[in-house]
């Protein structure tokens, strides 16, 4: 929490080169606890999903054409927020002290007398070559590495790059920034006597699903950049080590490399599918369509949870219902035994698993969420007449189940545990990316993901195909006029991933 009486603190944090797996544990911790986060164009905005819901998130830009904050404004903003007592996290792409003006920001913070911490990050200067399959050192090829920037301070009248020194040094040379000026830079290097056939690689959007590598020689790389329309941000590697890529290129050869795939589950549930697809090389856009909010009448929910021990049965119809129920339960009680002798029914295997996660036994587990089937299971157990049943469910859920129970003589109360609302925020920039860059494939893991996605009313990108987890989801998609190209044979996440992999494997 922001402490208004004390000065805050600033964390200058390296966000790594893009891959979320390359963020340090310390950086993640800082993001999770920050009051204010000021982030850069090159910091992967997906990590903002780790931030607290009430954190203030500020985009500081630094993309050439954007009208965002000037360096001076950024410095002032950080200082002002910290003076106000906030824990400020300044997220910078790669490592905060490798180019990109982190040094200036640190100076401004120090000059203002504010305490600060530096959290190093994995720089693109190292990760870029690694993900392109280029070892920056190799015993046979070189014994030193130079990092330099191709970006010139516009206020300097002479070139800041000492080409004569670079030519003499040899070894591996890694350049950040300046891809736009690659023609001048290679021309100068040649003029200073570097050999024309020196291998050169440019790696753009390194370590992300958008990574592309362009290989050439000092002589022809500028030409290739023009021909292919290769754009920044990119890291350039000059040196014989580039040749090792032909054997060591691992990242761009994975089965789903170059495929952009949309995951439509809620942020909390997206994890496994996203991970599996990313692991196979896909560029995953997580586009949550709904989010879970507290029910309209939280007080009533609390009351029913408090009285849960007075029922004969609690029936859970969804994993969210289980979570919200016990979240409330453990706010009210600090002893699990307060649940008493009530029996527990859970519909569907995931719901049952969530109950077991709380170390509670599931007494009844109907596999199908068809009211008739659920009721039939209860009948098998001796009927529901005069039994008190507490049904934990979502707001606006269909009311077939409570009606059926009542008809058979049960006394039913409904504990409205949560409601789902359309996800309208776009903290991670996923929606903007989806609209700007499109996608190759969208995944649907339930009928509601189809409906919720379409309800957002986003334009359908050209050529985007549909993958569905099973026939019911596929039917919902078709009912809405979609064509389903991929349907999982096994109706779970693994099955879906297998189907996607096969589909693209056969297309290649």
What is the set of active-site residues?
40, 62, 177
- Contact yes or no for 422/289 (Cβ under 8 A): yes
Stretch that binds ligand SAH, among 201-209, 257-265, 307-315, 437-445 (CB under 6 A): 201-209
Selected from 98, 410, 416, 442, the binder of ligand SAH by CB under 6 A is 98
Residue 402 lies near ligand SAH (rule: CB under 6 A): no
Selected from 10, 50, 75, 93, the binder of ligand SAH by CB under 6 A is 93
Q: Using alpha carbons, select from 127, 151, 262 the residue that is nearest to residue 204.
A: 127
Selected from 45, 233, 295, 321, the binder of ligand SAH by CB under 6 A is 233
Residue 74 lies near ligand SAH (rule: CB under 6 A): no
Helices and strands (H, E) in the chain, number of each type = 18, 20
Strand partners, 58: 38
User: Residue 189 or residue 493: which is nearer to ligand SAH going by CB?
Assistant: 189
Stretch that binds ligand SAH, among 91-99, 335-343, 389-397, 475-483 (CB under 6 A): 91-99
- Contact yes or no for 155/57 (Cβ under 8 A): no
Q: Using alpha carbons, select from 385, 396, 386, 371 the residue that is nearest to residue 315.
A: 371
- Contact yes or no for 14/94 (Cβ under 8 A): yes
**3-state SS, residue 338:** helix
Residue 18 lies near ligand SAH (rule: CB under 6 A): yes
User: Residue 232 or residue 420: which is nearer to ligand SAH going by CB?
Assistant: 232
Residue 433 lies near ligand SAH (rule: CB under 6 A): no
What is the biggest distance separating any 2 CA atoms in the chain, rounded to whole angstroms? 94
Stretch that binds ligand SAH, among 5-13, 232-240, 279-287, 462-470 (CB under 6 A): 232-240
Residue 90 lies near ligand SAH (rule: CB under 6 A): no
Minimum distance, C-beta of residue 177 to ligand SAH, in the bound complex (Å): 4
25-54 residues in contact with ligand SAH (CB under 6 A) are: 42
User: Residue 128 or residue 199: which is nearer to ligand SAH going by CB?
Assistant: 128
Minimum distance, C-beta of residue 282 to ligand SAH, in the bound complex (Å): 17
Question: Cα–Cα–Cα angle for 417, 422, 426, nearest 5°?
Answer: 120
**3-state SS, residue 352:** helix
**3-state SS, residue 484:** coil
Size of site (CB under 6 A) for ligand SAH: 25
Q: Which residue has the tokens 């789902």?
A: 420
Minimum distance, C-beta of residue 260 to ligand SAH, in the bound complex (Å): 16
**If you ran DSSP here, which 8-state letter would residue 113 be given?**
T
Using CA atoms, how far apart are residues 359 and 88, in angstroms rounded to an integer?
39
- Crossing angle between the packed helical segments 400-407 and 371-380, to the nearest 10 degrees: 40
Residue 129 lies near ligand SAH (rule: CB under 6 A): no
Backbone angles phi, psi at 449, to 5 degrees: -65, -35
Residue 99 lies near ligand SAH (rule: CB under 6 A): yes
C-beta nearest to ligand SAH: residue: 94
User: Residue 121 or residue 295: which is nearer to ligand SAH going by CB?
Assistant: 121
Using CA atoms, how far apart are residues 208 and 204, in angstroms rounded to an integer?
9
Selected from 207, 213, 420, 428, the binder of ligand SAH by CB under 6 A is 207
Residue 173 lies near ligand SAH (rule: CB under 6 A): no
User: Residue 42 or residue 390: which is nearer to ligand SAH going by CB?
Assistant: 42
**3-state SS, residue 192:** coil
**3-state SS, residue 146:** strand
Stretch that binds ligand SAH, among 97-105, 250-258, 322-330, 333-341 (CB under 6 A): 97-105
User: Residue 205 or residue 251: which is nearer to ligand SAH going by CB?
Assistant: 205
Residue 213 lies near ligand SAH (rule: CB under 6 A): no
How remote is the C-alpha of 188 from its chain's centroid? 41
| Tokens matching residue 311 | 């029922």
Selected from 45, 128, 321, 470, the binder of ligand SAH by CB under 6 A is 128
User: Residue 75 or residue 320: which is nearer to ligand SAH going by CB?
Assistant: 75
**3-state SS, residue 18:** coil
Q: Using alpha carbons, select from 454, 463, 452, 383 the residue that is nearest to residue 423.
A: 452
448-477 residues in contact with ligand SAH (CB under 6 A) are: none
Which residues sit at the interface with ligand SAH, rule CB under 6 A?
17-18, 42, 92-95, 98-100, 123-125, 128, 176-177, 203-207, 232-235
């Amino acid at each position: 929490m922001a402490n208004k009486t004390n000065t805050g603190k600033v964390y200058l944090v390296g966000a790594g080169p893009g891959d979320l797996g390359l963020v340090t544990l310390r950086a993640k911790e800082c993001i999770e606890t920050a009051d204010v986060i000021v982030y850069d164009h090159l910091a992967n905005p997906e990590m903002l999903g780790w931030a607290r819901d009430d954190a203030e998130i500020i985009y500081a830009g630094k993309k050439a054409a954007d009208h965002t904050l000037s360096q001076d404004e950024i410095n002032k903003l950080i200082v002002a927020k910290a003076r106000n007592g906030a824990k400020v996290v300044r997220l910078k792409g790669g490592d905060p002290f490798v180019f990109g003006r982190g040094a200036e920001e640190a100076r401004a913070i120090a000059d203002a007398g504010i305490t600060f911490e530096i959290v190093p990050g994995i720089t693109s200067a190292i990760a870029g070559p690694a993900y392109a399959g280029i070892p920056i050192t190799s015993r046979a090829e070189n014994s030193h590495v130079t990092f330099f920037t191709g970006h010139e301070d516009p206020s300097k009248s002479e070139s800041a790059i000492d080409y004569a020194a670079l030519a003499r040094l040899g070894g591996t040379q890694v350049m950040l920034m300046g891809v736009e000026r690659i023609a001048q830079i290679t021309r100068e290097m040649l003029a200073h006597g570097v050999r024309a056939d020196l291998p050169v690689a440019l790696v753009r959007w390194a370590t992300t699903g958008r990574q592309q590598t362009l290989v050439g020689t000092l002589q022809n790389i500028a030409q290739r950049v023009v021909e292919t329309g290769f754009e920044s941000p990119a890291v350039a590697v000059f040196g014989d080590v580039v040749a090792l890529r032909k054997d060591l290129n691992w990242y761009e050869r994975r089965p789903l490399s170059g495929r952009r795939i949309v995951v439509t589950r809620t942020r909390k549930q997206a994890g496994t599918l996203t991970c599996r697809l990313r692991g196979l090389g896909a560029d995953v856009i997580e586009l949550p369509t709904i989010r879970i909010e507290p029910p309209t009448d939280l007080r009533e929910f609390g009351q029913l949870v408090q009285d849960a021990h007075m029922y004969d049965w609690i029936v859970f119809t969804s994993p969210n219902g289980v979570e919200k129920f016990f979240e409330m339960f453990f706010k009210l009680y600090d002893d699990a035994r307060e649940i008493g002798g009530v029996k527990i029914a859970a519909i569907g295997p995931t719901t049952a698993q969530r109950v077991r996660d709380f170390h509670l036994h599931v007494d009844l587990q109907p596999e199908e969420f068809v009211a008739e089937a659920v009721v039939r299971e209860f009948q098998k157990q001796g009927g529901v007449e005069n039994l008190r049943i507490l049904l934990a469910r979502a707001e606006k859920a269909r009311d077939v189940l409570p009606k059926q129970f009542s008809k058979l003589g049960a006394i039913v109360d409904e504990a409205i545990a949560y409601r789902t609302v359309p996800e309208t925020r776009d903290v991670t920039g996923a929606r903007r990316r989806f609209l700007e860059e499109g996608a190759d494939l969208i995944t649907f893991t339930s009928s509601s993901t189809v409906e919720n996605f379409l309800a957002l009313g986003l334009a359908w990108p050209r050529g985007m195909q549909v993958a569905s987890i099973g026939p019911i989801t596929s039917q919902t998609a078709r009912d809405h006029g979609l064509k389903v190209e991929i349907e999982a044979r096994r109706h779970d996440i693994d099955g879906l991933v297998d189907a996607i992999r096969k589909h693209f494997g056969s297309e290649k």
